[in-house]
């Protein structure tokens, strides 16, 4: 966004709190950031406010914008179909148009009085436009570890990924570094694994030359699928946050890949199921000829569900048309 000309008032790395306990622990910081954002909006006096993802923050700003006569639009919608569905009323009352990147959301929003537009998924363009043709000097296939971009995820998930991957001597094992985290955090966790490399090369470049991946649930699962890399989804959160989530979240899967496919296309190992034995079992399945053929066919079907390319361009055109009418 900064490269496109936006002025960053706050970087997202300062706002990324995930989990119920973690949010409560950082509530003072969150409220301070919310206050700063409101003051900045009033000072800037925008013609329109475009919310992008981040519902915990943005759904609190939407009524504020409405109160001050600022037209609001939402691109990459809150996952309110997963939990607290009543929050859709906030969108109905305060947001003019919704621009969805997930095909199954249309069914959810059809029962509400809101202007809904499925625009396709922006990752289709991101990956299509990826021009880097990275070459590997490794003599072995690459097993990529993508342990997430949040500190709390990294510390819980990377150790089990490292322990398991170290048993797979047929691979060059690489850990993909998130730009928002310091290399020292990774290095402290990787001390006992000198043969495993840390790379800040970039997720797309790494995926383009990977044979297999262990991926923390999130957008990275979809990116991995779009590169057609077989994967095992790995997630482990705080005990309290997970127990709360079990009682209020109403979705059958945690990964975008499975939610879009509406079936277990890729294996999800969560909490106590995320252990060395289970990961190795799933890796062996993906290494088989049948396993690789199945996942390739399923990824092709998944890509077709995501619609056409040009999601962000289409959203911009629709939004400008609305503003000028």
pLDDT reported for residue 282:
98
- What b/e string do you get for 127-161 counting C-beta neighbours within 10 Å, with b at 16 or more? beebeeeeeeeeeeebbbbbbbbbbbbbebbbbbb
| Lookup: tokens for 70 | 């600022």
Q: What is the mean pLDDT of each run of 10 residues along the chain (325 residues)?
A: 88 63 65 89 94 90 96 94 86 96 92 92 89 58 94 92 96 94 94 96 93 92 96 85 62 89 95 95 96 96 92 95 91
Strand partners, 270: 235
Separation of alpha carbons 260 and 257, rounded Å = 5
> Cα torsion at 50, 53, 56, 58 (round to 10°)?
0
Strand partners, 292: none
pLDDT reported for residue 153:
85
Q: Is 3 helix (H, G, I), strand (E, B) or coil?
A: coil
Longest Cα–Cα distance of the chain, Å, equals 62
| Lookup: tokens for 37 | 């954002």
Q: Is 143 helix (H, G, I), strand (E, B) or coil?
A: strand
Measured over the CA atoms of residue 124, residue 127, residue 131 and residue 137, the dihedral's sign is negative
Separation of alpha carbons 276 and 283, rounded Å = 11
pLDDT reported for residue 142:
96
Separation of alpha carbons 118 and 53, rounded Å = 15
Distance, C-alpha 186 to centroid of its chain: 20
Walk me through the domains of the chain, giving residue ranges and CATH numbers. 12-120+310-324 (3.40.50), 142-305 (3.40.50.2000)
pLDDT reported for residue 190:
97
Separation of alpha carbons 243 and 218, rounded Å = 19
Separation of alpha carbons 287 and 294, rounded Å = 11
pLDDT reported for residue 21:
54
Strand partners, 72: 49
Alpha helices of 45-199 — where are they, by DSSP H?
Answer: 55-67, 88-94, 105-109, 122-128, 151-165, 183-189
> Cα torsion at 143, 227, 176, 82 (round to 10°)?
-110
pTM (two decimals): 0.81
Could you give the angle at the alpha carbon of 143 between the alpha carbons of 137 and 146, nearest 5°? Answer: 115
Q: Are 176 and 144 in contact (CB under 8 A)?
A: yes
pLDDT reported for residue 23:
61
The residue to which tokens 């089990």 are assigned: 160
How many CA within 13 A on the CB side of residue 48? 17
Could you give the angle at the alpha carbon of 247 between the alpha carbons of 259 and 24, nearest 5°? Answer: 100
Q: Give phi and psi for 143, each to the nearest 5.
A: -105, 115
pLDDT reported for residue 132:
47
| Lookup: tokens for 42 | 């009033």
Nearest by Cα to 166 from 145, 196, 141 = 196
Distance, C-alpha 301 to centroid of its chain: 20
Altogether, the residues listed in the chain come to a count of 325
């Amino acid at each position: 966004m900064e490269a496109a000309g936006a002025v960053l008032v706050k970087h997202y790395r300062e706002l990324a709190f995930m989990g119920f306990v973690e949010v409560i622990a950082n509530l003072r910081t969150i409220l301070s950031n919310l206050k700063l954002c409101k003051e900045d909006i009033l000072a800037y006096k925008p013609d329109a406010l475009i919310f992008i993802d981040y519902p915990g923050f943005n759904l609190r700003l939407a009524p504020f914008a409405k109160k001050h006569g600022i037209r609001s639009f939402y691109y990459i919608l809150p996952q309110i179909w997963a939990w607290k569905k009543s929050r859709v009323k906030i969108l109905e009352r305060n947001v003019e148009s919704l621009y969805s990147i997930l095909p199954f959301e249309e069914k959810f929003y059809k029962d509400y009085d809101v202007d809904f537009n499925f625009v396709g998924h922006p990752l289709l363009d991101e990956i299509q436009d990826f021009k880097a043709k990275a070459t590997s000097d490794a003599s072995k296939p690459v097993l990529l570890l993508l342990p997430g971009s949040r500190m709390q995820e990294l510390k819980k998930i990377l150790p089990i990924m490292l322990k398991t991957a170290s048993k797979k001597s047929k691979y060059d094992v690489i850990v993909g570094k998130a730009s928002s985290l310091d290399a020292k955090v990774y290095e402290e966790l990787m001390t006992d694994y000198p043969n495993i490399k840390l790379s800040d090369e970039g997720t797309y470049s790494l995926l383009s030359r990977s044979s297999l991946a262990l991926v923390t649930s999130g957008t990275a699962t979809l990116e991995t699928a779009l590169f057609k890399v077989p994967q095992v989804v790995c997630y482990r959160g705080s005990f309290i946050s997970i127990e709360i989530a079990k009682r209020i979240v109403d979705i059958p899967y945690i990964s975008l890949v499975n939610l879009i496919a509406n079936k277990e296309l890729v294996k999800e190992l969560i909490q106590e199921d995320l252990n060395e034995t289970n990961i190795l079992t799933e890796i062996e399945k993906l290494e088989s000829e049948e396993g690789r053929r199945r996942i390739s066919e399923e990824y092709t079907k998944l890509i077709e569900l995501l619609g056409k390319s040009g999601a962000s361009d289409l959203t911009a055109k629709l939004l400008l048309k609305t503003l000028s009418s």
